[in-house]
Structure 1
Amino acid sequence: MSIATKVLRTDGLTVDGSTAMLRIGLPWYRSLPWASVAGVAVNIDGTDLGVPSSIDGSRPDQLKERSDYWSIHQWADVRFDSSAIPVAGDEVSVRLRVDLRIPGPLSADGGPMPYRFEAVLPAVVGSHRTSPSDSATSVSSRGNVSPH
């Protein structure tokens, strides 16, 4: 199983009106502080959904203030308010990018090491009323993990 299969799920994208929610797992081998999340970007069928309205219940600019951790066992809900939301039942291609700042290993400037995770997943859009289950499912995806 690749890291991509632990981050994206075929049933992880749901919609309700003009709001989309993508359930994602942490693309790292150990839990990290939420403050390590530098950015999340989602593209559906070639359309960028823009800045998330929330990541795990916090605005993206509030993550750096959180002192709790994103567990490797926890799915995070990333919400988008956009006019580019697909319709429930549509088959789409989901491209996810997560930028992390890993504490511990230092980059050349002495700060946390930047790390970018990218993956693409075919998915069928669900409805918020039939949200994804909490159990992981195996997915067919192509993950590209590279340093930022």
Structure 2
Amino acid sequence: MLKNALREDALSFGPDGFELRLGLPWIRSMPLSSIRGLSVSVDGWSPAEGELRVRLGQRAIPADALAGESGWWFIQDRLVILFPVNRFRDRSGSRRKVSVDFELMVPYLRGGADGPLVLPFHLEAMLQGLTGGPAGSLARRRLKADFRAGCAGWHTPPFRVTSAWRVLRPQPTP
């Protein structure tokens, strides 16, 4: 669980600063409101209060506002954390020490008589800053390549799957 939370392609640089894609270090999907005290540091530098934001779809909200969100952090998704500054842009090709700290409240497990279980997480990794696209693009290219290599010996079935996930069977020839 913990080793996949900060993957090697988790850090990317864009026009407004950088993005960090964080995987959920837990066995089940969790409500976004269960995340408390999110903080990030890169090479020992942390953003000022209020600068840390989280992208949820097309919106970017302050990290402290996650407690009021009704959405979910699914285990297959990455939480996109934004630093809206250009502090590290000139050194994007170097490896960086990235640290993430937060607490995860597990609402379905008791942590004692006073409330639910609260788990503290501290994640650390040396990450290569990527430029020219979202951080997940490298992982997607690798996944596609691995999938194609693994499927090399498979027999192609007599149907095809469209982009809308409908199965189209070939028409019989008269």
TM-score normalised by length of structure 1 = 0.76
Gaps of 5+ in 2: 143-174
* Percent of residue pairs bearing the same amino acid type: 23
What is the aligned partner in structure 2 of residue 53 from structure 1?
A: 53
What is the aligned partner in structure 2 of residue 144 from structure 1?
A: none
Q: 1:68 to 1:18 in 2, by over 3 A?
A: closer
How big is the shift at 1:84?
4.0
1:130 counterpart = 2:133: yes
Q: Does the CA contact (< 8 Å) of 1:99 and 1:115 recur in 2?
A: yes
| 1:104-123 alignment, distance < 5 Å | 104-108=108-112, 110-123=114-127
What is the aligned partner in structure 2 of residue 43 from structure 1?
A: 41
What is the aligned partner in structure 1 of residue 79 from structure 2?
A: 76
Q: Which one has the bigger strand percentage?
A: 1
Q: Which has the larger radius of gyration?
A: 2
Measured on the aligned residues, the alpha-carbon RMSD in Å equals: 2.3
Give 3-state SS (helix, strand or coil) of 1:9's partner: coil
Gaps of 5+ in 1: 138-148
Q: Does the CA contact (< 8 Å) of 1:47 and 1:84 recur in 2?
A: no
Counterpart CA distance in 2 for 1:27 and 1:58 is 22
Q: Which one has the bigger helix percentage?
A: 2
Q: Does the CA contact (< 8 Å) of 2:36 and 2:105 recur in 1?
A: yes
Give 3-state SS (helix, strand or coil) of 2:61's partner: coil
Q: Does the CA contact (< 8 Å) of 1:11 and 1:124 recur in 2?
A: yes
Q: Does the CA contact (< 8 Å) of 2:29 and 2:73 recur in 1?
A: yes
What is the aligned partner in structure 2 of residue 66 from structure 1?
A: 69
How big is the shift at 1:100?
1.1
TM-score normalised by length of structure 2 = 0.66
How big is the shift at 1:11?
1.4
